[in-house]
Structure 1
Amino acid sequence: MEPPSAAAPACAAPSRRVAHLDMDAFYASVELLRYPELRGLPVVIGAGTRYQPHVNADGSRSFHRLRTYAGRGVVTTSTYEARALGVFSAMGMMKAAQLAPDAVLLPVDFAAYRDCSRRFKQAVAAIAPHIEDRGIDEIYIDLTALPEDSLTLARRLKEAVKQATGLSCSIGISPNKLLSKLASELDKPDGITIIGPGDLQRRIWPLDVSKVNGIGPKATERLRALGIDTIARLAQTPPALLQAQFGLSYARWLLDVTQGVDDRPVRTWSVPKSISRETTFERDLDVRRDRAELSTILVRLCTQLEGDLERKGYLGRTVGVKLRFDDFRTVTRDLTLPDAVADAAALLRGARACLKRIAFDHRLRLLGVRISALEKRNDSTRAGTQLSLY
């Protein structure tokens, strides 16, 4: 096989315009709307409800500090001030407490985040309806057919989001999704970045290779071992070397990245592979002594998953469970049902059937439930069965 060759430069098709809109520190920003007195302070979100702020007799609020946290949770998000202290999402809370002990600690409120997500997406859709939903806080938008110039559109979108939510966002605009996602990170927070002719080498090539969506931790490590730390260095790497290290297909894609080539369309909808809920316990739980607590947690996860399916409009045929034991061993089991389901009672039955196929020889630190083999539901499907803990 011949080694891959460099692709055509980015911006070769200027008629295509794609935006990536990313909310700024989304969960944290929602909380700062609720608690404006915390603006400018390091704030970490990721605790349970027992860390709710306390309302004092005079109406003021007292907040927990990160140093008071005890448990094994992870940081959901943090403000930019906390990030400056080294605290980032997915970091263990106890490690975060060592880095920023005086940071304010807040519990997560996913209901509030989902409501804000819905409002900002509705505001964007009123201006540019061709949207690809990429999660609770980010979307791609196809701007190609709109008459306004890119800067005018970006300003309109940001103002609409601000009016709908009170929050800021950052927008990257380029000929494709790859460059727009990279661009939206360049001038955060509250930024607008437009990548046009000549901007590829100037703004994208200096970025670390790990910034590219699709170059994960393992690939980043292998690239660094070859002395490749930036997109510019990747662009200068002989194609034969990349093929030898990564294979033909991935090597070609890496070279496309360096040239800003990405032909993926903005898809207005897509069926996710799976939807899941999981929780890490504050302490290791014993399957016998803590049976009642584990059962309560399992019911709660299935109920939350039912809500996710209802909100997203899906049914699923394959139910799965995920367990992590106190020795950090992770076990999963799946069960394919005869019919697609969405109600919590059916999810619970499937999850319990999966659990019966696992040997519980250690205490548990995590439990998760997932549903896959998804399909769109019709309007006549309704959930809401009352559940029993046993």
Structure 2
Amino acid sequence: MLVSVERVVLHVDLDQFIVAVELLRHPELRGKPVLVGGSGDPKQRGVVAGASYEAREFGVRSGTPLRTAAARCPDAVFLPADRETYLAASADVMAALQEIGGVVEVAGWDEAFMLVDTDDAEETARSVQRHVRERTALACSVGIGDNKLRAKLASGLAKPAGVFRLDMSNWVAVMASRPTDALWGVGSKTAKKLAARGIATVGDLARTAMADLAGEFGPNIGPWLVALAHGYDSTPVTAEPYQARSHGREVTFQRDLRDTAEMRAEVVRLAHVVSDDLAVEDALARRVVVKVRDSRFATHTHGVSLPAPTREAAAIEQAALAALARFPLDRPVRLLGVRAELARSG
């Protein structure tokens, strides 16, 4: 009897990862609305880094200000963020995936792609879930696809802790009626531009001629958007080590900064922290970006390219200060950030 073997892409996405790690330390909080972020004090400034499914029912998501989260979900339990613990948990998960075999591509601290040959894709996906849970006690959703785009979208449809298959055979049935920003790679700004042209759904976008979008979105991005709507993606799954595109640090102040000298001093401090981070990661920066959020929550960025890739603190500082100088700084500042965009190796 011949056994049919197919090659599929799996997207493994850890469920409510940050909260799930905290629940391993605080099992008594299971089933309760839990929010992780900042110092864990909702009276202080900061944003939500992770929200349990119970908290999300109140409209709280990652990035929600802690005070807003507390107002929306007054019964929530707030916990401080613990980045090093989450990184360690992520490393354990990725090590578990490596044990399974196939090609594993780490896509972030809570997600990975796998390229596997299998005679039962659904059972393989469930075996991945079992192995991750046995090794780490964490739950994951697994999307099955015939490329990375479809696998990534499938894992979102599998949540929580489920398995879903999205490929050429059911792409139209599943995706055609969904809004364009349901596509991986289409953000809210692009979706609004498309909607202004009468393109509201993935099906609308798929029926659009590539040339019609080239004028507004460019000769590369325009056709690419239409290709996405058809579910096309030729990006390979690769076992090359994961490389972040940028590394940054930011701080939300408990009182707004009004003195530009204080702002400059804080940017200098952040620039040196970023420089130290780059040294630890053996990475080089090619561009430095400063983010400013003012007292009205307006957020803007300015960047400065470096003459040559570097991790030297003096160069990072100089570029960060040059970027800061491009802001008017005419309003009190509640958040400052410095981000190094990384030079790609080899």
Matching residue within 82, 95, 103 for 1:122? 95
Deviations 1:41-68 (A, max 9, x none): 111112315x3xxxxxxxxxxxxxxxxx
Cα-Cα RMSD? 3.2
Structure 1 residues 162, 281: closer, same or farther in 2, change over 3 A? Answer: same
Structure 1 residues 290, 275: closer, same or farther in 2, change over 3 A? Answer: closer
Amino acid across the alignment from 1:103: A
- Give the SS at the match of 1:179: helix
Deviations 1:71-90 (A, max 9, x none): 44222121111111111112
Paired residue for 1:5?
A: none
Matching residue within 10, 33, 40 for 1:19? 10
Matching residue within 157, 165, 172 for 1:186? 157
Amino acid across the alignment from 1:258: A
State the 1:22 CA deviation: 0.7
Kept after mapping to 1: 8 A contact 2:246/2:341: yes
Structure 1 residues 253, 140: closer, same or farther in 2, change over 3 A? Answer: same
State the 1:25 CA deviation: 0.9
TM-score, length-scaled by structure 1: 0.75
Q: Does 1:277 align with 2:240?
A: no
Structure 1 residues 305, 156: closer, same or farther in 2, change over 3 A? Answer: farther
Amino acid across the alignment from 1:139: A
Paired residue for 2:306?
A: 336
Paired residue for 2:315?
A: 350
- Give the SS at the match of 1:161: helix
TM-score, length-scaled by structure 2: 0.83
Paired residue for 1:142?
A: 115
- Give the SS at the match of 1:151: helix
Paired residue for 1:55?
A: none
Q: State the number of aligned residues.
A: 336
Kept after mapping to 1: 8 A contact 2:249/2:274: yes
Greater Rg, structure 1 or structure 2? 1
Amino acid across the alignment from 1:77: G
Q: Equivalences for 1:99-178 in 2 at 5 Å?
A: 99-143=72-116, 146-178=117-149
Structure 1 residues 42, 301: closer, same or farther in 2, change over 3 A? Answer: farther
Q: Does 1:256 align with 2:221?
A: no
- Give the SS at the match of 1:152: helix
Matching residue within 44, 53, 72 for 2:35? 44
Kept after mapping to 2: 8 A contact 1:41/1:103: yes
- Bigger drift between 281-290 and 262-271 goes to 281-290
State the 1:260 CA deviation: 1.8
Distance 1:211 1:363 in 2: 36
Kept after mapping to 1: 8 A contact 2:48/2:66: yes
Structure 1 residues 366, 156: closer, same or farther in 2, change over 3 A? Answer: same
Paired residue for 1:214?
A: 185
State the 1:193 CA deviation: 1.0
- Give the SS at the match of 1:232: helix
Distance 1:178 1:136 in 2: 18
State the 1:94 CA deviation: 2.7
Q: Equivalences for 1:220-231 in 2 at 5 Å?
A: 220-231=191-202
- Bigger drift between 154-163 and 178-187 goes to 154-163
Paired residue for 2:171?
A: 200
Kept after mapping to 2: 8 A contact 1:16/1:176: no
